[in-house]
A and B are shown apart, each in its own frame.
Chain A
C-alpha cells in the first residue's frame, strides 16, 4: 500500500492505495464519484476522461499512485447536480446525449476545447470539433447533436445568438 494525497474537485484527501489501482476505480470507490464511467478500460472509448492538473486524461490508463499531489476534476464539479455548465446545457438542448453513458467523458474532453475557442474568439470548423472529440465514442446520438452542442456552447460564450 502506498499513501497518496489527491485533491479531487476541491477536496483534499490522503489515502492508502495499492499501486495497481486505476485512478478511475479510486475516484469511483473512494471518492464516490460515479460520474467517472468506465467503458473499455483500454483507452478506446474516452468515457473515463477526467482533468488531471487541468488537462484531460484517461483515468483508466492512469494509476492513482502516479497522481500523488495532483489536482483532479471530474464531471461532478462541472455544473453540479443541475448540470448548469454552459456545455452541459448545450448538450441538453441540442440532443447531445441519449443514454448518457459516454456524456461525462465527452464533457470533460470538450470543456477545455470550448474554453479555448471562446478565449481565442473563434468558432471552430465542424471537422476540428470532430477531431477534438475523436477519442470519445457515443453509440446513441450519431454525433451530430454533440457537434451542434459544442457550436452552441462556443456561440453563447462568444455572445452570438444561438
Chain B
C-alpha cells in the first residue's frame, strides 16, 4: 500500500514476535539465511533503511528474558538483550572492567545506548564498534544458540571481517561471557571519531595485571587497524615487565603502528590512521598504568 507518495525505506519483510527463546530459535531455524533477530534495531534498521540488509523475516526478541549482568563462577555473563546504558552504574563493570566502562561512553549517544543491545552490537560486527573490541580484549566467549543446541565461540575467532561473524544461519547470540580478571587488574579504552558518538576512526583498549611496580601481563585490542578488532600480541609481550611509572608507552605505540596496515578511506588516510593508532596506544597504556599505580 502506497499512500500519498509515502517513502518505503526498507524492503518488505514479515514480522514475528518471539514469545520465548525456543520460539525465537524455531523461527530462526525455519528462515535460515533469510531471518534476523531484532532487538534495539540501532544497527540493523539503518542497514535495512539503506537496503544494505534485506532480511525476509524479522524475529523480534525484545520480550525474551535474556538481559542482565551477573557473575557465574569465574565469569561475568552478560545476557544478549542487555542495553548499553545498563553498564553505567553497574558495580561489577566498575570494579572489574574499567576498559569496558571507558568504551561504553563512546557507544553512540544516550538514545542509542538506551535501546541498543550487546547481542545486536556483537552480531552486527561493525569493524569499529566498541563492544566487539571489548569482547576481543577480554578474551570473552560469545555464547550462541540454535535449535541444534549451544556453542561457545571465543571472541578472537568470532569476528571474521567487517560485518561478518562466525554465526551460522539459524544461530543467535544469547550471551557474552567475560572471564573475571584478577583483583589487581586494570585497564583503559580510548577512541577517536569525528564527532562524539560517531563511528570510531580508531580505538585502542588495554588491560594490565601488575605487581604494584611493574606490568606482569597485558592485553591490547585495536579497532581501525583491520576489518575487525585485532589483538596486539607483540605489544602485549613488550609491555610485560615494563615499570608502571615509565612503561615505554610511546615506543609501544610506534612499534604497533609499524606492524599494521590500516585501511585508507574517506574518513582518514592509512598514514593518518597509523599515526593516530600510535598516539591512542600510547595514551591507553599511560592511562592504564596511572590507574594501576592509583589502585595498589
Q: A residues bordering B, Cβ < 8 Å?
A: 1-2, 18-22, 25, 29, 41-43, 46, 49, 55-58, 60-63, 65-66, 109, 131-132, 134-135
Contacts and interface: CB of A to CB of B under 8 A. Distances in A.
A55 B8 contact: no
B49 A42 contact: yes
Nearest to A20: B10
Interface in B87-119: 108-112, 114-115
Given A19-B12, A109-B110, A131-B110, 7 more contacts: A43-B46, A57-B114, A60-B49, A63-B15, A63-B58, A66-B38, A66-B60
A25 B266 CA distance: 31
A19 B13 CA distance: 7
A129 to B, nearest CB: 12
A156 to B, nearest CB: 23
Interface string B194-210: 00110000000000000
Interface string B6-23: 111111111100000000
Nearest to B15: A19
B62 interface: yes
Interface of B: 1, 3-4, 6-15, 38, 41-42, 45-46, 48-50, 58, 60, 62, 108-112, 114-115, 196-197
A49 B45 contact: no
Nearest to B50: A42
A123 B43 CA distance: 34
Contacts of A22: 9-10, 45, 49
Contacts of A46: 109, 111
B101 to A, nearest CB: 15
Contact of A56 (B1, B3, B114): B114
Contacts of B197: 134-135
A49 B62 CA distance: 20
B6 to A, nearest CB: 5
Contact of B114 (A21, A55, A65, A66): A55
A32 to B, nearest CB: 11
Contacts of A20: 8-13, 48
A40 to B, nearest CB: 9
